[in-house]
Amino acid sequence: MQKLVYTIPESYGGCTVQQFLRGCAGLSWRMVVKLKRVPGGITLDGRPVRTIDRVGAGGRLVLLLPEDTVRIDGVDLPLDVVYEDPYLLVVNKPPLLAVHPSAFKAGPTLANIVVHHFAQSGQPLSFRPLNRLDRNTSGLLLAAKNAHIAHALTTHAANSKIEKFYLALALGRLEGGGVIDQPIRIREGSAITREVAGPGDAGGKPSVTHWESLAACDTLSLLRIRLETGRTHQIRVHMAWIGHPLAGDTMYGEDQTVMSRHGLHCAEMSFTHPVNGAAMRFQQELPEDMRRVVAEYFGEDFVL
């Protein structure tokens, strides 16, 4: 079983176990119920406690999470691990690798590789990615090792927000910076393709993209992009909407003379650790194919 260990802060001294779990620890109600059913699932300073019992500042609260259920097979392929601890895994996903298995695409996925990695480490765990990367997109991907961590980083406190920055190669010259604030919806008649929703169009969800130009020529621009929202294909849709689709993006553009896949890379990620409160920040340099393009268009000496 996985173990979560917390030290009760002064601000929660005298509160009930349940108040601490739901407040400070950010557990979902469902997880609290599951813990109550696990023998020794909640202990304080080595003694079993009930959720109505009180906790003292400085106490050591230990949770034993229920066993995980792994539903896909592992595959033994290389995995570029950027960071790992008992709660989190950060990997550098290569381009041309799907994140999840699909009935429409054969072959191993990042999910299969991560499940194998967990099993080899003596951790039979499911794959719970907390940010989405398209098959052709490379870069940092964060996964939680249990349902509680996933819940805490996606639905709990505002300071648990996962902030991501991307590097993108867009066609044409873009200089300065800007904000694209346009709703995105699924294109009518398609299950995959998205589009900017026009005035009066149904189904549009608020979508905000911040971009900054790092280098530009008449053919190509290198952009640093921050997402305020996280819609499917958001960067690709928004860049195409302003007339600068990503290089190599045949779904929202047409040109593949610069790259054979769309030029998008998750280069930086930061968040607050959901267990110990540490500030976490990771950076990942461009993959080889995007580095070659940058060198060709902006010079061998160009430094990000």
Spatial separation of the C-alpha atoms in residues 225 and 64, rounded to whole Å? 39
Catalytic residue among 134, 201, 218, 289: 134
Mean pLDDT in residue range 170-198: 95
Burial class (CB in 10 A: 0-12, 13-18, 19+), 8: buried
DSSP string computed for 209-270: EEEEEEEE-SSEEEEEEEESS--TTHHHHHHHHTT-PBTT-TTT----SS-SS--EEEEEEE
Q: What are phi and psi of 296, to 5 degrees?
A: -65, -40
Q: Are 131 and 110 in contact (CB under 8 A)?
A: no
* Per-residue pLDDT reduced to its tens digit, 254-286: 989 999 999 999 999 999 998 888 999 999 999
Spatial separation of the C-alpha atoms in residues 254 and 238, rounded to whole Å? 15
Token pair, residue 51, equals 């959720």
What does the pLDDT read at residue 19? 94
Spatial separation of the C-alpha atoms in residues 182 and 180, rounded to whole Å? 6
| E strand or H helix at 52 | none
* Per-residue pLDDT reduced to its tens digit, 45-94: 999 999 999 999 999 999 998 888 888 999 999 999 999 999 999 999 99
Mean pLDDT in residue range 13-25: 91
pTM value surpassing 0.95: no
The alpha-carbon radius of gyration of the chain (Å, integer) is 22
In this structure, of 24-28, 71-75, 110-114, 200-204, the range with the lowest mean pLDDT score is: 24-28
Q: Is 134 a catalytic residue?
A: yes
